[in-house]
Amino acid sequence: MPRQLPLYVHKEKSRHGKIVFYFRVGKEERIRLPDDPGSKNFKAAYTAALRGQKLEQDRSLAIPRSLRWLVKQYMESETWAALSVATRKQRGLFYQKVVELSGDIDCRLIRTKDIHKAVERRKATPALANNFLKALRALFKWAVEQDYVEDNPTAGVSKLTNQSDGFLVWTTDEIAKFINHWSIGSRERLAFELILASGLRRSDIVRVGKQHLTNETLRIKTRKTNTPVTVDFSDRLLKLIEVSETGDLALIVGKNGLPMTKESFGNWFGDACREAGVQKSAHGLRKFSATMAANAGATAHQLMAMFGWTTIEQAEIYTKKADRERLGRLSSRLVAEHFETEIAPHLDVGAGKNQKIKTKSKG
């Protein structure tokens, strides 16, 4: 027989088909309870609701429906567990600050204007403010799906305009400087060519090993977005790998022969760049790779597949710039062709400066 629910606890199915539990006495306000009736959190929330108390005495137990409680529920969900480690770390820091400042506010009372003010307070660092907004959007999107809140207060808040292009893209002169300084066979040259050929992030380039290669094809799932990436290496790059110093499970290793962390790799590669007279980064080289691919005619979806992006907007940053130049040149040729064939087809190239151009006579 199914377990009998405690007094005043009602089980309902949400509009998303999820089973939820509420505490309600008569026609008083409903109080949402945790999803597992057998958990300690459920018993604590039920006891507090039964006594008409708030759990303010014990800060480890969040008040039901408070922002602190909502963040806790989200960070215990399968949705949160499916995020990458890096994403959880970044968003977790944002949520920690929010909870410290406004943890006891009823999450149902948060409005769009509140989110807008929170973003505006961070306008001095637009990129950070936009990442903060992205974290809140994910939280409240999940809360709406769980029927914890009716509306997503982040829906009407726009991202801040960020004038910075972030990491600077390498130039062809800087590419030449690097390859002239670091010879074939060095770990620095191998790292450079692997990033350029694959477009992988630091967190993935440090994991790439021969186990990811089948003949000339590299297959790896990205750490940041958990997206599979498949790229082909040229014969030249495969030969470069053969003559370079590599590790057993990672192609790029430190002096001790062990794989690097993404942080140590970033510092090491940055030092290699400066030694070659280049003031750029590994991420700037990744952006150069994307720029080259776009200029060569790669579509937005092709770029997404190669660089592990999950939204087309990221790819269009590169394709739009490349397309504008290519389409602009094409359009100018069309204008010239139309003018020469339809409007002024009989240009007398031998005429002097003062000679009038003859056109078709009508009538």
Q: pLDDT (tens digit, 9 = 90+) per residue, 253-278?
A: 888 888 888 889 999 999 999 999 99
Torsion angles phi and psi, residue 338, rounded to 5: -65, -40
Structure tokens at 227: 């997206």
The percent of residues above 90 in pLDDT, for the chain, comes to 27
Closest by CA position to 295, among listed 321, 314, 265: 321
- Residue 16 pLDDT exceeds 80: no
pLDDT in tens, 265-314: 999 999 999 999 999 889 888 888 888 887 777 777 877 878 777 777 77
> Residue 176's pLDDT is what?
92
Residue that is written with structure tokens 């579509």 in the block: 299
DSSP bridge pairs for 219: 230
Residues with Cβ within 8 Å of residue 337, at least 6 apart in sequence: none
Question: What crossing angle do the helices spanning 282-295 and 300-307 adopt, rounded to 10°?
Answer: 150
- Matching residue, tokens 């290519």: 326
Instruction: Give 136-153 pLDDT, tens digit per residue.
Output: 999 999 999 998 998 999
Q: Are 315 and 293 in contact (CB under 8 A)?
A: no
What is the enclosing helix (H) or strand (E) of 175? helix 172-181
Please state, in angstroms and rounded to a whole number, the distance separating the CA atoms of residues 157 and 117: 10
The Cα 133–Cα 131 span in angstroms is 5
Q: Indicate the pLDDT class of residue 318, thresholds 50, 70 and 90.
A: low
Identify the residue whose tokens are 């359009």: 331
What's the predicted TM-score (pTM) here?
0.53
Q: What is the pLDDT of residue 35?
A: 79
Mean pLDDT to the nearest integer, 176-203? 90
Q: What is the mean pLDDT of the chain?
A: 81
Q: What is the pLDDT of residues 47-88, one digit of tens each?
A: 888 877 554 434 444 567 889 999 999 998 989 988 877 788
pLDDT at position 358 is 47
The single residue listed with the structure tokens 């459920």 is 42
Q: What is the radius of gyration, based on Cα positions, of the chain? A: 30
Which of 162-166, 174-178, 213-217 has the least mean pLDDT? Answer: 162-166
Query: What is the tens place of the pLDDT at every residue in 24-36?
Result: 888 777 888 887 8
Alpha carbon separation from 40 to 60, 61, 162 (Å, rounded): 12, 10, 45
Q: Which has the minimum average pLDDT: 1-10, 93-102, 268-277?
A: 1-10
Residue 32, H or E segment: strand 31-33
Asked if the model's pLDDT at residue 352 lies above 60, the reply is no
pLDDT over 70 (residue 331):
no
Confidence of residue 163 (pLDDT cuts 50, 70, 90): low
Measured distance CA(188)–CA(347) in Å, rounded: 59
CA atoms within 13 A on the CB side of 10: 14
Q: Which pLDDT does position 139 carry in this prediction?
A: 96
